[in-house]
Amino acid sequence: MAADVNESATFRHTTVLLDEAVDGVLARPDGVYVDGTFGRGGHSRALLAKLAPEGRLIGIDRDPEAIAAAAAIDDPRFSIVHSGFADMADELAALGVHQVDGVLLDLGVSSPQIDNPERGFSFRFNGPLDMRMDTTRGQSAADFLARADEREIAQVIRDYGEERFAGQIAKALVARRQAGAPLTRTDELRELVARTVKTREPGQDPATRTFQALRIHVNAELEQLEQGLKAALRLLAPGGRLSVISFHSLEDRRVKQFIAAHSKAEVDRRAPFAPPPALALKALGRVMPSAAEVAANPRARSAVLRIAERTDAPLKAA
């Protein structure tokens, strides 16, 4: 996820796959759209520029700073909601919206969040070990590490960071806590992991996977994604588009599997010549950043955009 490069805030970044994601989600210019990860509004501004006067765009974000940034958009077609995109169906229903023509999701952490030391997302800066996208609720990463047992910490780091030294890191974290020195700062966590992890891929900080894992856990990102994809499918009108940008394999795998589950028919071995069932989605493809975009914006190198279109078929029974 990335911020709009034109914002006036201190922390800036270029929106990843801007044109591709917007063109992919725009089914009809006069439709109703959801930007489920507003960030600093890069995709929202681009969508508004292509919407007809009767179009409508609803932005959603968990981060209070993103909600504050949305106030800079003075457009009667735009509104913003402070919530997670997993709850978009309920939030839109409260606005009287029960069907939309497109849902755009730009997953992960945004550049302003990463680059602000006070948010605690990055091992590159010394700051409080927070990592919450919504700073008004929930437990911080420091809170989690202060209460979780060794087994739970290891599982989080292993499952969400794909870290092979998860057990050793968890043991070191608990030992430090039991010695009366629980972690509260990002540099403390980075140093502990660096002492524990003796080998690492060239060019990668040893703390990379641990920071990713704690962020995903604290924000329940994968659970949010699964719920959000289901909500988007329920909301999309026939012909409506789903446009999702992922930045790591854990996210992209779930998006790919979700689209495949609703767009690929399984052959019934009991009736192999029966006509295939009608499916709720049609996969429209995968888009990767161009070499020029990656050269200009290194953070785009791992991005994957997947686009699908809602058919008029009924949803599968849950």
Q: Is the pLDDT of residue 5 over 50?
A: no
pLDDT at residue 270, rounded to an integer: 67
| Cα distance between residue 182 and residue 144, in whole Å | 11
Residue 6 lies in a domain: no
Q: Are residues 261 and 246 in the same domain?
A: yes
Domain of residue 87, residue span: 18-112+221-310
**DSSP notation for 256-300:** HHHHHHHH-PPP-TTSTTSPPPP-SEEEEEEE---HHHHHH-GGG
Q: Is the pLDDT of residue 212 over 60?
A: yes
Binding residues: 41-43, 61, 85, 106, 113
Q: What's 308's DSSP letter?
A: E
Q: Which residue has the higher pLDDT, 271 or 118?
A: 118
Residue 279 lies in a domain: yes
| Cα distance between residue 66 and residue 185, in whole Å | 24
Rounded mean pLDDT of the chain?
92
Task: Provide the domain count of the chain.
Answer: 2
pLDDT band at residue 110 using 50, 70 and 90 as cut-offs: confident
Q: CATH number of the domain that 165 lies in?
A: 1.10.150.170
Binding residues for S-adenosyl-L-methionine: 41-43, 61, 85, 106, 113
pLDDT at residue 267, rounded to an integer: 55
Residue 12, helix vs strand vs coil: coil
Q: Are residues 237 and 290 in the same domain?
A: yes
Boundary of a domain, candidates 201, 218, 235:
218
Q: Are residues 73 and 22 in the same domain?
A: yes
